[in-house]
Amino acid sequence: MKAVTTTPSDVDVVLPCLNEAEALPWVLERIPQGWRALVVDNGSTDGSARIAQALGATVVHEPRRGFGAACHAGLRAATADVVCFCDCDASLDPRLLLSFVREVRAGEADLVLGRRRPHGRGAWPAHARAGNLALARMLRRRTGLRLHDLGPLRAARREPLLALGLTDRRSGYPLQMVVRAADAGWRIAEHDVPYLPRTGASKVTGTWRGTWQAVQDMSRVLAEAPAEAPTAGRGVR
CA distances to 18, 111, 229 from 215, rounded to whole Å, are 20, 22, 24
- The H or E element that residue 208 is part of is helix 208-222
Residue 37, pLDDT score: 98
DSSP state string for 100-159: HHHHHHTTS-SEEEEEEEE-STTSS-HHHHHHHHHHHHHHHHHH--------S-EEEEHH
Residue 234, pLDDT score: 42
Residue 48, pLDDT score: 98
Work out the angle at residue 233's Cα, subtended by the Cα atoms of residues 192 and 162, and round it to the nearest 5 degrees: 85
Q: In whole angstroms, give the CA distance from residue 143 to residue 225.
A: 11
3-state helix, strand, coil in the chain (%, to 5): 35, 20, 45
175, 67 Cβ separation under 8 angstroms: no
Work out the angle at residue 70's Cα, subtended by the Cα atoms of residues 4 and 135, and round it to the nearest 5 degrees: 115
pTM: 0.86
Q: Could you read off the pLDDT tens digit of each residue along the chain, which spans 237 residues?
A: 454 656 667 899 999 999 999 999 999 999 999 999 999 999 999 999 999 999 999 999 999 999 999 999 999 999 999 999 999 999 999 999 999 999 999 999 999 999 999 987 766 777 777 778 888 888 998 999 999 998 899 999 999 999 999 999 998 899 999 999 999 999 999 999 999 998 866 655 555 565 556 666 777 777 776 755 455 654 434
Residue 221, pLDDT score: 75
By CB neighbour count within 10 A (0-12 exposed, 13-18 middle, 19+ buried), where does 228 fall? exposed
